[in-house]
Amino acid sequence: MSRAWDQTATFPTLSAITPPETFPALAPIETFAEERRIAARLMTVTPGPRRTSPMTGDGHKFCPGCRTVKRLTEFHRYRATPTGRASHCRDCVLAYQRSVAARKRADRETVTTDRADVARMTALLAEHERWEEVMLSAD
């Protein structure tokens, strides 16, 4: 069943998405719009179930960072979440922020050390060039 518009179509046709033997009971497609509707329906991804909040009923919440259940007062407020609290407790957030600060500090020290090495190497190179000029001029 060849159609003229199949040759110029810029979207995937139903036959390109699924082989015809996959749906033997599928009625023949009569119109271009009908084929596009079916293709769109087959390409649509349905979302999975929404994750439930890790709150317990007694004003406590689970922290995935330290894997403990803590009081809600130990979590920062965050309105965008269903619970109104951050996902990680204050202690885990503080530990994370400190580790990031330490990593950045180490990176800065490495750059400073690299700059000192470059300055020292530049001074040695200049001294070597001066020595070569003296040696060459003596000849």
What are 33-58's pLDDT values in tens digits? 777 787 777 777 666 665 555 677 78
Domain that holds residue 33: 9-43
Domain count of the fold of the chain: 2
CA-closest candidate to residue 93, choices 80, 74, 107: 74
pLDDT digits (tens, 9 = 90+) for 53-99: 567 778 889 999 999 999 999 999 999 888 889 999 999 999 999 99
CA-closest candidate to residue 83, choices 123, 120, 56, 43: 56
C-alpha 16: how far from its chain's center?
Answer: 31
**Confidence class of residue 28 from pLDDT cuts 50, 70 and 90?**
low
Indicate if the pLDDT at residue 14 is higher than 70.
Answer: no
Which tokens belong to 94? 């503080």
CA-closest candidate to residue 3, choices 36, 41, 42, 25: 36
Q: How far apart are CA 112 and CA 118, in angstroms?
A: 10
Does residue 97 fall inside a structural domain? no
Q: Are 59 and 71 in contact (CB under 8 A)?
A: yes
Q: Are 110 and 103 in contact (CB under 8 A)?
A: no
Does residue 37 fall inside a structural domain? yes
